């Protein structure tokens, strides 16, 4: 098979996660695709006002993209808007930026996860419809970690194997799950109610206290896997002082 066929992908279903200026007239683009995972590309000439790519490479909108190249940085050949999703605005837009940042910082490049792609598209559709944001974000976070091999154990106690008791309080060990015992000296495990773990497992949050605690736990779990990296969308929200309890921070 000729090399040019091996190194080319045509009409891949995807979303733009982020874009940066590159040289005078081009853009660097991070895209999430269903078949090829997260892909980095240079869009040559895309900053020019008359470029066909100028208005197509927008976040949160389905696109069909083609590229070539064998290295880490591909060359974008073509992009077409597929339509079908309303634009995000307000706090939903901030939530969308949060989802994109999670994918950029946690998902390795060129590691395809079709179910994760579908979950992302579903989350965007829910945000665009104005659905309650907290359940959308928590479901996506739980699914993302599971796809990456960091699935949370939300059904049984790690130290006993018994079913999670909604009325109990647990220490959540990042690498094992919920435990009744205290963490070892010098180790911190977040405290969480069993009811919150049950809610995370089902994706349903019936009261504000559970939603707040689920957000707090997921933030700590995600930060653990991010190691020293920072989610900048949280800082933006804090700086704007425009986040209620349903946002990403």
User: CA–CA separation, 223 vs 177, rounded Å?
Assistant: 16
pLDDT of 83 reads 87
CATH homologous superfamily, domain 3-81: Nucleic acid-binding proteins (2.40.50.140)
**Fold: same for 3-81 and 90-240:** no
CB count in 10 Å sphere of residue 185: 5
Domain ranges for the chain, please list them: 3-81, 90-240
* pLDDT tens, N- to C-terminus, the chain (249 residues): 444 455 899 999 999 999 999 999 999 999 999 999 999 999 999 999 888 898 899 999 999 999 999 899 999 999 999 988 999 999 999 999 999 999 999 999 999 999 999 999 999 999 999 999 999 999 999 999 999 999 999 999 999 999 999 999 999 999 999 999 999 998 999 999 999 999 999 999 989 999 999 999 999 999 999 987 888 887 776 665 444 555 555
Contact yes or no for 144/116 (Cβ under 8 A): yes
Contact between 48 and 68 under an 8 Å Cβ cutoff? The reply is no
- Give the strand order in the sheet containing 177-179: 177-179, 169-173, 191-193
Contact indicator for 113, 100 with CB cutoff of 8 Å: no
Residues 89, 241 contacting (CB under 8 angstroms): no
Longest dimension (CA), the chain: 64
Q: Which CATH architecture has domain 90-240?
A: Up-down Bundle (1.20)
């Amino acid at each position: 098979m000729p090399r040019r066929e091996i190194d080319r992908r045509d009409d891949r279903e995807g979303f733009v996660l982020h874009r940066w200026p590159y040289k005078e007239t081009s853009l660097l683009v991070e895209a999430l695709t269903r078949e090829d995972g997260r892909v980095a590309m240079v869009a040559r000439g895309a900053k020019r006002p008359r470029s066909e790519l100028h208005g197509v490479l927008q976040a949160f909108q389905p696109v069909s993209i083609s590229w070539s190249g064998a290295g880490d940085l591909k060359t974008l050949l073509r992009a077409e808007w597929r339509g079908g999703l309303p634009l995000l605005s307000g706090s939903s837009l901030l939530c969308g930026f949060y989802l994109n940042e999670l994918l950029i910082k946690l998902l390795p490049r060129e590691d395809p996860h079709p179910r994760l792609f579908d979950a992302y598209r579903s989350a965007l559709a829910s945000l665009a419809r104005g659905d309650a944001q907290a359940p959308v974000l928590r479901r996506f976070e739980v699914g993302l970690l599971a796809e990456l091999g960091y699935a949370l154990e939300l059904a049984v106690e790690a130290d006993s194997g018994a079913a999670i008791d909604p009325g109990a309080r647990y220490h959540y060990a990042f690498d094992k799950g919920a435990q009744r015992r205290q963490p070892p000296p010098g180790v911190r495990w977040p405290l969480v109610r069993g009811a919150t773990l049950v809610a995370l497992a089902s994706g349903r949050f019936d009261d504000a206290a559970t939603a707040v605690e689920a957000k707090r736990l997921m933030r700590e779990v995600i930060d653990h896997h991010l190691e020293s990296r920072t989610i900048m969308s949280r800082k933006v929200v804090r700086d704007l002082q425009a986040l209620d309890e349903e946002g990403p921070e």
